[in-house]
């Protein structure tokens, strides 16, 4: 009787449907850890530029890294948890701010964008890993950059316009100084994420070990 042929899978092959399985305690732990990292990054002093009162911080670096490492849904959950805790009163926004009052300030659009950027970056990162796109660092950088351009640098100026009482054009002009720093931070996030995925290949997509293909025997 002939043995059925089994598909050979390498140790670098993601499992089918990876990232769509049930939520696990490991997922919860990673969400909590990265939410804490985002909060901790807010305590690094920022650089105030322009007159709108929005500082340059390393938070966008950590948020991009969260997306690239955790994937869409976990990254979104981690950064959303951070935002919710900050709005609830914990002083974990930049410059030690907290509470719903921050949503009346010029940073409101950027805060709204935080979890969305993390989720979209993570969505792109998952596809990079599933498709095995190379060089991985370049694709990670593009994932973070596109997410930032589409969300951070759109919602941010809208928040400036609404809360600083300026025109939308002035909001986009006020946002321009953030571009060089964000590009550099996306590069660094991509490099760090590549290193983390190399060190912990199962952190985003579970992978399977190689299965030997059985020999085909003659009929008995």
For residue range 62-91, list pLDDT tens digits in order. Answer: 999 999 999 999 999 999 999 999 999 999
Q: Evaluate whether 4 touches 193 at the Cβ level (below 8 Å).
A: no
Going by pLDDT thresholds of 50, 70 and 90, the confidence category of residue 152 is very high
CA proximity to 182, closest of 41, 60, 55, 47: 60
Going by pLDDT thresholds of 50, 70 and 90, the confidence category of residue 95 is confident
pLDDT at residue 211 tops 60: no
Tell me how far apart the alpha carbons of residues 83 and 170 are, in angstroms, rounded to a whole number. 26
CA distances from 212 to 2, 6, 202, 216 (A): 16, 8, 21, 12
pLDDT at residue 16 tops 60: no
Dihedral sign of CA atoms 49, 52, 57, 60 in order = negative
Tell me how far apart the alpha carbons of residues 206 and 208 are, in angstroms, rounded to a whole number. 7
Task: At 119, list the tokens.
Answer: 């989720």
Mean pLDDT of the chain: 86
| Better-predicted residue by pLDDT, 212 or 115 | 115
Angle formed by the axes of helices 153-164 and 168-175, to 10°? 120
The pTM (predicted TM-score) of the whole model is 0.84
| Mean pLDDT, residues 121-149 taken together | 97
Task: At 122, list the tokens.
Answer: 């993570």
pLDDT at position 50: 61
pLDDT at residue 173 tops 80: yes
Of the CA atoms within 13 Å of residue 196, those in its CB half-sphere come to 17
Residue 207 backbone dihedrals phi, psi, to 5 degrees? -120, 160
pLDDT at position 22: 84
Strands (E), 57-106: none
């Amino acid at each position: 009787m002939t043995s059925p042929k089994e598909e050979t899978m390498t140790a670098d092959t993601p499992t089918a449907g990876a990232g769509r399985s049930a939520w696990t305690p490991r997922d919860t732990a990673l969400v909590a850890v990265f939410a804490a990292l985002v909060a901790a990054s807010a305590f690094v002093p920022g650089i105030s530029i322009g007159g709108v009162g929005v500082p340059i911080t390393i938070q966008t670096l950590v948020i991009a890294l969260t997306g690239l490492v955790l994937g869409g849904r976990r990254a979104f959950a981690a950064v959303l948890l951070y935002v919710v805790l900050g709005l609830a009163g914990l002083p974990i926004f930049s410059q030690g701010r907290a509470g719903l009052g921050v949503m009346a300030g010029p940073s409101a659009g950027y805060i709204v964008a935080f979890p969305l950027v993390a989720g979209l970056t993570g969505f792109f990162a998952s596809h990079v890993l599933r498709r095995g796109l190379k060089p991985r660092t370049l694709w990670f950088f593009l994932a973070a950059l596109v997410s930032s351009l589409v969300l951070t640098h759109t919602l941010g100026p809208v928040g400036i316009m609404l809360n600083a009482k300026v025109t939308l054009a002035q909001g986009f002009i006020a946002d321009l100084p953030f571009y060089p720093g964000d590009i550099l931070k996306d590069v660094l996030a991509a490099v760090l994420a590549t290193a983390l995925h190399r060190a912990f290949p199962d952190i985003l997509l579970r992978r399977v070990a190689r299965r030997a293909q059985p020999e085909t025997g003659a009929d008995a």
